[in-house]
Chain A
Amino acid sequence: MSSGLMSFIWEGLANTLLLTVFGALLGLVFAFIAGLGRSSERKWVRGIAMVYTEVFRGFPSLVLLFVLIFIIPTFGFQLNPLIAGILALALNIGAYAAEVVRGAVKAVPPGQLEAAIALNFTPVQRLRKVILPQAVVAMIPPFTNNLIELLKATSLVSLVYISDFTFAAQLIRASTGETALVFFGLLVGYGIIALVFTTAMKLLERMAARSLGRTVPSGLFGRKEVAA
């Protein structure tokens, strides 16, 4: 394969990672705002958070991409295609992950909040010092799923001419005609990236569990815990 084609692959790979990482970070921001917003005491905050999660969960990422890249510019907002891609993916994954945040916060035993009130923590301190450190531990495994979903969704940007990993592979397929090889290569490539992300999240999960004095079975797929 010529070095010209290889450089397409590297650029595509870099863009796919960029879309995944920044999409995840921005999505995380949306998820926390919307997920915590849904348990706010203020009705209008709860309302906005609920509308965001319900609406954006239902939007296909692809249609959202078309809107941000082809429609919004006709109103005079020119977005850099990569940024538009990150935004579209983040809005979508953020709506999913908001439910994870909400569920994890709700799953913290009520006694924890009561103890925080008994010690006269402010509402912000209760959240920051007591509720979130425990809730975040429960969020990590479902977040791993969201992250892998996001990684796979990034391939949609190839349809709006962003040169991601899939787009680069399509170019190579068009110029070499090696359809089977290219698509299998693509699957293996995504598989490896997913494995790297999953492994990183596993490490994070174990660190988080240790912060609560728990241990998580080691190994990538975990070992059965033996009853004492």
Chain B
Amino acid sequence: MTTTNGEFITFDGVHKSFGKNVVLDDLHFSVGAGERVTLIGPSGSGKTTILRMLMTLTRPDRGTISVDGDYLYHEKSGDQLVPASEAHIRKVRSRITMVFQHFNLFPNMKVLRNVTEAPIHVLGTPKDEAEAKGKELLELVGLGDKLNAHPSQLSGGQQQRVAIARALAVDPDVLLLDEVTSALDPEIAAEVLDVLRDIAKSTDVTMLLVTHAMKFARDVSHRVLMFNEGKIIEDASPEQLFNEPEHDRTKSFLRSVIDES
């Protein structure tokens, strides 16, 4: 019972190993446009690697990844697929952005500039327009009063909310959320998740999430993929997967995560 409107993001035969450690093994899956998909599974099962590959931070060893019909690491040259040029990668990457576990705000820029720098210098948005939109996004994440603060003056939860605004400011088609609340204590994490929940409901951005916040995953995702040892072992709707998991490994994983929280 999965909701798939076409194949917007496609992983085809993707393989990745770090040294002898095989992280992803012949992975095939696709995500529809506007779909919100959560990747769950024990650590080391390759979830984060998938997001990093989409963000072009980690290269696959084999296989292809495409976004809306464009290969991410390859270009068509006649009938052949050849390794993509930096220009091609930038073009495809322009539709994707990511929010990181450790926020990664730029400490040399104040809050508003963190949000407006890419729109102005990458997208070519006029400065006043970018600032107006930046302020709007910072209002949206509840930080309208922190425009001129340095990131170092903000708490972790506030920094992560700025990072979310910064990601939304480049108008992505695909938003990758990599354990965005793992570095925050539970109460603060809840605030950040509330912001994300609102955003998820009000946009049609395609989202891939890696998270251990299961309740949140259940609330926002259309589909949940359970990973184990580099493979997808279960692919189902959140109701199905959380209430009646089929695979024993999924059951034991969910039990351990719920015990933890």
What is A's interface to B at a CB cutoff of 8 Å? 109, 111-112, 114-123, 125, 129-130, 133-134, 211-214
Contact = CB atoms under 8 A, between A and B. Distances in A.
Contacts of B166: 119
A121 B121 contact: yes
A119 B118 contact: yes
A121 B122 contact: yes
Contacts of B57: 114, 117-118
30 contacts: A111-B104, A114-B57, A114-B98, A115-B100, A115-B105, A117-B56, A118-B97, A118-B100, A119-B97, A119-B117, A119-B166, A120-B93, A120-B170, A121-B121, A121-B122, A122-B90, A122-B122, A125-B121, A130-B106, A133-B108, A134-B108, A211-B108, A212-B108, A212-B152, A213-B107, A213-B110, A213-B149, A213-B151, A213-B152, A214-B152
B168 to A, nearest CB: 12
B2 interface: no
Contacts, number: 70
Interface residues of B, number: 30
Given A118-B97, A120-B94, A120-B122, A129 B107 contact: no
B150 interface: yes
Interface of B: 55-57, 86, 90, 93-94, 96-98, 100, 102, 104-108, 110, 117-118, 121-122, 149-153, 166-167, 170
A111 B90 CA distance: 19
Contacts of B150: 212-213
B223 to A, nearest CB: 23
Contacts of A112: 104, 106
A137 to B, nearest CB: 8
